[in-house]
Chains A and B, each alone.
Chain A
């Protein structure tokens, strides 16, 4: 207990002063959290505050963020070839950076991480792992991490999973995201190991195979009889729902307690319709991306996306590039992850290309002390601008996935039409009732629909929106999945 107290002090010092993490202390805290849970059944009620630190008022938060941004900018200028060039032309002294100067710092586009990720690596760090994104909007980007960063991230995710109780020791965790999403896979597997749960890195398989794996009985000592936690892309969950219901699966065929969703827009329609297959399962959604990891967002019960201010600075820039988006306006997330969370690949004002809206009014939710935006609205590259503003992936997907005639995940395409947008969608029927239901749903989401084309086959879609469930991982010879009847017979 005394060694844990010392480890907590070292960790708190890193959080408070931005000093490098002492990874062994973090791992010690994780081990103590597990021991505490084993002994008492749960962590103490103050554990979260102990690890996250106290809530900060606005002035203190801004002061801390500014100091960390100065430090990170100086480091980027001195230690990376890319920022040495970019900041040389920029009329800002990083050491005296003021809040109003931030907009004068250059925005870092995704292309830099696609074309030359090495140019962003600090000369003072030893890179260890090159993690790659899934490349939803083009060629995948890559980011180098040091061994210490990766170990710290694993410890941080274990702390987070344990305090949120997302994974329990008796859980069988099905990792159903692309194995190329190295950091995402490592985080879940590392957290499972720290918690005492077991993880199966199944990868992004087809829905039949995934359903069979989720329904398959397990014989692991001390563990649940079936997969109890799954990490999935929302589109993959949609695919499971569609195929599972059609194949005759029912909630009793599964043991899922929780599904962790990330990487895409998870719609209310998907959440509702997935109950037909998995019953009363808890869906947990967050915002994370390899490029800025471990900086990310947490969705609160009110649907806001909150960002921990000591981890990084988040800005929402107007789509016309004129500066910060005004309250209630659409913009892209521009993020600067801070040390000690990130000190190998340094990124300043990284344009994530992810759309959100700034909040029109201050939040009143439980996380109101941290900066917040709307929930993610999709990729800017996949949104369509028109005379009335912008139509985002979320606008369209929320509408389409709410309509039963549209199979999950909604396969659609979005393009600019005269004075609005044209939507193509795959639906079970193109009759008048289906067409009216889809058009009503789109209009209720304020989509200025000018033309609706309904297809029976997704191959007919022109420029379809990408879905991560299509990132299939195949093998030389995939054995035929057990049938639903066989799986239920084995379970019995």
Chain B
């Protein structure tokens, strides 16, 4: 067995676990008015379907610029509860600059680049899923999104060459939206879409149903992730596996069981009243 499997797994599982820690201990600066609703789920799904085509159609330099700007914005947002404005800006700019510099100097095939890129991607994923979950996204929305992505993944990854083309094209640019590791001339990666769903699901389950269901969700999807990566690593099915085809129905099934058991989801207010999380003090701000 090569090192790419344990290292990729470690990065992915650490991202998922840290997203839960962030959810419990830090508060994002959510919009003062508005709750994530069904319409947002449709918009997210539409974005997920459209973005790969956009990345394939646009010149690589434009894609890289878009990724750099988006990553910078997300890092600034994700680090907001942890650092004051000045240090936050330095950290975010430094991370993006380091990622770009490594891609240009040592190349995207280098594991030094992959390590930095994995960390940047992890922080971005943690920030995004916390914004969604702390803005009132419901478990049923995530389950529906999971089912929608399962269908999409089946078509786009297994049925069409879309994901293979995307992987090959974006492999050459910095801030690549994949988390992974190179070993023995090959690489093992987890796409950012799968990573977002993996990190998001336990958060909305914690809010909606409580600690135990969240732990079960985290455990179940970790087992599935390990199994999927093993299958890919040992080439049992193919080079690219549509992970959401397995994860989507799993999320929907678990959500349906808990919805029936609990008779509905908790609101954020009810979740906080029932399990007030130990919050860290807010980051100092310059006035």
**A146 in the interface (beta carbon within 8 A):** no
- For the complex, give the distance between the alpha carbons of A29 and B31 in Å: 12
Q: Are B40 and A1 in contact (CB under 8 A)?
A: yes
Listed by A's residue number, 13 A-B pairs whose Cβ atoms lie within 8 Å are: A1-B35, A1-B36, A4-B31, A5-B31, A35-B35, A36-B33, A39-B35, A39-B136, A39-B267, A40-B268, A41-B269, A44-B33, A47-B33
Interface SS, A side: helix
- For the complex, give the distance between the alpha carbons of A51 and B33 in Å: 10
CB distance from B50 to the nearest CB of A (A): 15
**B135 in the interface (beta carbon within 8 A):** yes
**B284 in the interface (beta carbon within 8 A):** no
- For the complex, give the distance between the alpha carbons of A5 and B40 in Å: 11
When distances are taken between beta carbons in the complex, the residues of chain A under 8 Å from B43 are 2
Interface size classification for chain A: 20 to 34
Best-surrounded residue of B32, B39, B268 (most CB of chain A within 10 A): B32
Q: Are B30 and A32 in contact (CB under 8 A)?
A: no
**B34 in the interface (beta carbon within 8 A):** yes
Q: Are B34 and A1 in contact (CB under 8 A)?
A: yes
When distances are taken between beta carbons in the complex, the residues of chain B under 8 Å from A33 are 33
Q: Are B136 and A29 in contact (CB under 8 A)?
A: no
Extra pairs beyond A4-B31, A36-B32 (8, CB < 8 Å)? A35-B35, A36-B136, A39-B269, A40-B267, A40-B268, A41-B269, A44-B30, A44-B32
**A43 in the interface (beta carbon within 8 A):** yes
CB distance from B207 to the nearest CB of A (A): 10
CB distance from A81 to the nearest CB of B (A): 42
When distances are taken between beta carbons in the complex, the residues of chain A under 8 Å from B33 are 4, 8, 29, 32-33, 36, 43-44, 47, 50-51
**A477 in the interface (beta carbon within 8 A):** no
Q: Which residues of B (69-124) have their CB < 8 Å from a CB of A?
A: none
When distances are taken between beta carbons in the complex, the residues of chain B under 8 Å from A63 are none
Q: Are A40 and B136 in contact (CB under 8 A)?
A: yes
- A positions within 8 Å CB-CB of B: 1-5, 8, 29, 32-33, 35-36, 38-41, 43-47, 50-51
Partner of B32, one of A35, A38, A39, A47: A47
- For the complex, give the distance between the alpha carbons of A435 and B37 in Å: 66
Q: Which residues of B (1-40) have their CB < 8 Å from a CB of A?
A: 30-37, 39-40
The interface on chain B, measured as residues whose beta carbon lies within 8 A of the other chain's beta carbons, has a size of: 17
When distances are taken between beta carbons in the complex, the residues of chain B under 8 Å from A39 are 35, 136, 267-269
- For the complex, give the distance between the alpha carbons of A35 and B33 in Å: 9
When distances are taken between beta carbons in the complex, the residues of chain B under 8 Å from A5 are 31, 34
In the complex formed, the residue of A with least CB distance to B32 is A44
Q: Are B32 and A32 in contact (CB under 8 A)?
A: no
CB distance from A2 to the nearest CB of B (A): 6
Partner of A4, one of B34, B267, B268, B272: B34
CB distance from B193 to the nearest CB of A (A): 19
CB distance from B237 to the nearest CB of A (A): 37
Q: Which residues of B (182-241) have their CB < 8 Å from a CB of A?
A: none
Partner of B267, one of A38, A44, A51: A38
- For the complex, give the distance between the alpha carbons of A319 and B6 in Å: 85
- For the complex, give the distance between the alpha carbons of A12 and B267 in Å: 29
When distances are taken between beta carbons in the complex, the residues of chain A under 8 Å from B135 are 1
When distances are taken between beta carbons in the complex, the residues of chain B under 8 Å from A41 are 268-269, 272
Question: A1-B40, A2-B39, A3-B39 given as contacts; is B34 within 8 A of A40 (CB)?
Answer: no
When distances are taken between beta carbons in the complex, the residues of chain A under 8 Å from B30 are 44
- For the complex, give the distance between the alpha carbons of A151 and B35 in Å: 23
In the complex formed, the residue of B with least CB distance to A39 is B136
When distances are taken between beta carbons in the complex, the residues of chain B under 8 Å from A32 are 33-35
Q: Are A2 and B32 in contact (CB under 8 A)?
A: no
Q: Which residues of B (105-163) have their CB < 8 Å from a CB of A?
A: 135-136
- For the complex, give the distance between the alpha carbons of A5 and B272 in Å: 25
When distances are taken between beta carbons in the complex, the residues of chain A under 8 Å from B40 are 1-3
In the complex formed, the residue of A with least CB distance to B132 is A1
- For the complex, give the distance between the alpha carbons of A3 and B36 in Å: 10
CB distance from A214 to the nearest CB of B (A): 30
* In the complex, the 5 A-B pairs of residues with the closest C-beta atoms, listed nearest first: A44-B32, A41-B269, A4-B34, A47-B32, A1-B34
Q: Are A1 and B31 in contact (CB under 8 A)?
A: yes
CB distance from A49 to the nearest CB of B (A): 8
Best-surrounded residue of A2, A33, A39, A50 (most CB of chain B within 10 A): A39
When distances are taken between beta carbons in the complex, the residues of chain B under 8 Å from A36 are 32-35, 136
CB distance from A195 to the nearest CB of B (A): 14
When distances are taken between beta carbons in the complex, the residues of chain B under 8 Å from A38 are 35, 267, 269
Q: Are B35 and A43 in contact (CB under 8 A)?
A: no
Best-surrounded residue of A2, A32, A44 (most CB of chain B within 10 A): A2
When distances are taken between beta carbons in the complex, the residues of chain A under 8 Å from B37 are 1, 3, 35
CB distance from B32 to the nearest CB of A (A): 2
In the complex formed, the residue of A with least CB distance to B30 is A44
Q: Are B269 and A44 in contact (CB under 8 A)?
A: no
- For the complex, give the distance between the alpha carbons of A46 and B32 in Å: 6
CB distance from B152 to the nearest CB of A (A): 20
- For the complex, give the distance between the alpha carbons of A206 and B36 in Å: 48
In the complex formed, the residue of B with least CB distance to A38 is B267
In the complex formed, the residue of B with least CB distance to A35 is B35
In the complex formed, the residue of A with least CB distance to B138 is A39
When distances are taken between beta carbons in the complex, the residues of chain A under 8 Å from B272 are 41
B26-62 near A? 1/0 per residue, CB < 8 Å:
0000111111110110010000000000000000000
- For the complex, give the distance between the alpha carbons of A39 and B267 in Å: 5
- For the complex, give the distance between the alpha carbons of A36 and B269 in Å: 10
CB distance from B135 to the nearest CB of A (A): 6
When distances are taken between beta carbons in the complex, the residues of chain B under 8 Å from A47 are 32-33
CB distance from A37 to the nearest CB of B (A): 9
Q: Are B32 and A45 in contact (CB under 8 A)?
A: yes
